[in-house]
Amino acid sequence: MNEAGRVHALLDAGAEPPGGPVLPPVAELLARARTGRRRRRVGLVSLVAIGCALIIAVPFVVIRNGGRPLEEPAVYPSVRSATAAELARGRWDVLPQSPVPGRIGAAAVWTGDEMVVWGGASGTYPGTLRADGVAYEPGTRTWRMLPPSPLGARSGTASVWTGHAMFVWGGYDSLYPLVVSTSALGGIFAPGHATNSGALYDPDRRTWQVLPRSPLLGGLVSARALWTGREVVVVGGRPPGRGNSVDVVAAAYNPTSHSWRMLPPLPPLGLRVSLLDAVGAGDRIYLWLGHLGAGVDMLEYDSRGNVWDSVSGGRDSKVSRGLGGPLWTGDELIVPAAVAYRPTVMGHYESNLYGERLVPGTGDWRAMAHGPLDDRSPLSIWTGGALLSLAQGGGAAVWDPAADTWTRLPDAPVNIDEAVLFGSTIWTGRQVLLWGPQGPPVAFGA
Amino acid sequence: MAGSAAERAFAEFVAARYARLVRTGYLLTGDRGHAEDLVQQALLKTFRSWHRLEAEANAEAYTRTTMLRMALGWRRRRWNGEVPTGALPEAASADHSSTVDTAEVVRRALAGLPPGQRAVLVLRYFEDLSEAEIAETLGCSPGTVKSRCSRALAALRAAGLLVEDSHKSR
């Protein structure tokens, strides 16, 4: 170990404060923050500001909606994808209210006919963990409850559609300290009560089947489930011990044999992993592993060869940039715009961010044009022919991969902030469905 | 605005990063109570600026920088119990395998460093910041960072905490 390594080790050893585990006082801090905010709001200045805001907002709303009620949903073309040009003519649709509350951190899949949502947490912070589920069928604009699940209430599960069933595994069975979503911070690891149980839901038979116990003892944090065509690969971090870094491990569930197997260990990275994201690309899986202060490593898992490999680039290449929820288009990997995963300093907020695209095997990362929402930590959805970008505040834009150009779309007619950050988002082939704990469910489509 | 997206994102940020920030605070202050106080005050400032921060990386950097500046300010105002010296106290022995716990040795070693050197050491080797990032965080020049880091490492070497024959640093 060189001298820098010894200093690292010394500080790591000296950073553990005495007196037991450090638990984040989330509720207390929020209460103090709210109190401070209330105090600042009191007074004439606030009243004047509110008055001004009302004066500005009223005509703005009238202009934006043109004084008309929201339009009825369009008749969607019978295609399984939507191009940027089609989406540029798209519109928002407020969907019927569901029979159960909206939630965050839920398992959500598209079956080909329905959006199936299970678990998560509803209500305002800290919320209530849910063990119920519901399905929405856009064709009939109807909701139906799922039969009772054999799983207990939980949030932050790993879920994926296998072609026949919704796979649901893991998650957290406690809201304390606070783990409601594994995606909110791009896969950041957080303490919690990770579970090691799961089930399959068959929407045709409306039945649940309990999964055998996985070899991932103790559960995983920031778990992701990805379908390779034959198996569900579950990857995540073993619950952290010290700090927020973890060992990343993976296992695969085979629906045919109804059994699990461990995947080979990941190649040694030499750095602590503090952030994870993943995307399935046919029979391969790509992992992005963030090291706080030292960029991002990228790995590829070939499910046919059962081997891991490093993706060219390394920590000094463009792979080192941020993680914006990677996507697979069928030909390319897209890493939407995100703040680079390295420390920045106060007063210097990164802007003019842009996404990147890679044809696997070429090592040739190409920058995407800067999008109108790229600096607002948007949610990105691949529609089969375009990239749909949704941001807090209701903004929407679409990216055309052929022309590398962005088109601004109409703003959402309702508050979609929580749905964008933590809610359930599904591309149906014709429209994107958004359902969160605030406001009604909505759809946007061509 | 109870339960708003910002509050939820902030709550997740706190849940995920609080322990790590307290460890940084502990290295800076040498006292758990001071460290938690420091982190909580910095987090409240972060919450007030949450709408400007957008991303977790920015929020963490903002919180850490606030902690640093508050810690150095506190040190100037009221932490009078520690007297920085050019050399580390004799108690910071390299023989930390026997009677003295490693963590205590490190705490004493850091306590013997001037606050500026201590901050640079923690940012460089615990937070993995570059010299340029440390300079911007502390509001000083990269040259100052380099010299403080060099002096801090020399002090650790002199105290026997680092092996003498290697002079490679990051």
Q: Residue B170: list chain A partners with CB under 8 A.
A: 4
Tokens matching residue A272: 């602590």
Cis peptide before A177 (omega within 30 of 0): yes
- A contact test, residue of B125, B151, B164, B168 with most A CBs within 10 A: B125
CB pairs under 8 A, 24+ apart, for B93-101? B93/B159, B93/B160, B94/B159, B94/B160, B94/B161, B95/B160
- Residue A63 confidence (pLDDT): 31
**pLDDT tens, position by position, A379-427:** 999 998 999 999 988 899 999 999 999 999 999 999 888 888 788 999 9
What is the C-alpha separation between A107 and A224, in angstroms, rounded?
Answer: 11
Task: Check CB contact of A271 with chain B, cutoff 8 Å.
Answer: no
Q: With a threshold of 0.90, tell me whether the complex ipTM lies above it.
A: no
Judging by DSSP bridges, how do beta strands A365-367 and A356-358 pair with one another? antiparallel
Judging by beta carbons within 10 Å of its beta carbon (0-12, 13-18, 19+), is residue A381 exposed, middle or buried?
A: buried
Closest CA–CA distance from residue A339 to any residue of chain B (Å): 7
Task: Check CB contact of A370 with chain B, cutoff 8 Å.
Answer: no
Helices (H), A120-204: none
**pLDDT tens, position by position, A256-312:** 999 999 999 998 877 777 778 899 998 899 998 877 666 778 899 999 899 999 886
Q: Which CATH code fits A83-445?
A: 2.120.10.80
- Residue A128 confidence (pLDDT): 87
- Residue A132 confidence (pLDDT): 97
Q: What is the pLDDT along chain A (446 residues), one digit of tens a residue?
A: 688 888 888 888 888 887 777 777 887 788 777 776 666 565 445 545 545 454 444 333 333 333 332 222 222 223 368 899 999 999 999 999 999 999 988 999 999 889 999 999 888 766 789 999 999 999 999 999 999 999 999 988 999 999 889 999 998 887 654 443 333 333 444 555 788 999 999 998 999 999 999 999 888 888 899 999 889 999 988 875 445 566 889 999 999 999 999 999 998 877 777 778 899 998 899 998 877 666 778 899 999 899 999 886 544 444 545 566 889 998 899 988 876 655 443 344 567 888 888 888 887 788 899 999 988 878 999 998 999 999 988 899 999 999 999 999 999 999 888 888 788 999 998 899 999 988 899 999 97
List B residues 111-130 in contact with A (Cβ-Cβ < 8 A).
121-122, 125-129
**pLDDT tens, position by position, A234-256:** 998 887 544 556 688 999 999 99
Question: Is residue A100 a contact partner of residue A134, using CB atoms and an 8 Å limit?
Answer: yes
Instruction: Please state, as a whole number, how many other Cβ atoms lie within 10 Å of the Cβ of residue B28.
Output: 28
Rg of chain B over all Cα atoms, to the nearest angstrom = 17
Q: Which of B16, B125, B126 sits opposite A244 (nearest CB)?
A: B16
What is the C-alpha separation between A420 and A8, in angstroms, rounded?
Answer: 38
Partner-chain contact B18 A22, CB within 8 Å: yes
Q: What is the DSSP string of B11-36?
A: HHHHHHHHHHHHHHHHHHHS-HHHHH
- Residue A240 confidence (pLDDT): 59
Q: Which run of H or of E encompasses B105?
A: helix B102-111
Task: Check CB contact of A293 with chain B, cutoff 8 Å.
Answer: yes
Question: Is residue A393 a contact partner of residue A408, using CB atoms and an 8 Å limit?
Answer: no
Q: What are A260's strand-pairing partners?
A: A253
Nearest to B153 by CA among A7, A173, A423: A7
Helix then strand then coil, % of chain A, to nearest 5: 15, 30, 55
Task: Check CB contact of A191 with chain B, cutoff 8 Å.
Answer: yes
Cα separation values, B135 from B121, B123, B130, Å: 12, 10, 9
Question: Is residue A61 a contact partner of residue A411, using CB atoms and an 8 Å limit?
Answer: no
Backbone angles phi, psi at A333, to 5 degrees: -95, 135
Full set of structural domains in chain B with CATH: 1-81 (1.10.1740), 84-170 (1.10.10.10)
- Residue B55 confidence (pLDDT): 61
Q: What is the pLDDT along chain B (170 residues), one digit of tens a residue?
A: 445 777 888 888 888 888 889 999 988 888 888 888 889 888 988 888 887 776 656 788 888 888 887 777 654 433 333 333 333 333 333 443 433 477 778 888 888 888 888 899 999 998 888 888 888 888 778 888 998 899 899 888 887 887 654 444 43
Tokens matching residue A274: 């503090």
User: Residue A226 contacts by C-beta under 8 Å, 6 or more apart in sequence?
Assistant: A160, A232, A233, A234, A235, A278, A279, A280, A285
Helices (H), A315-440: 417-422
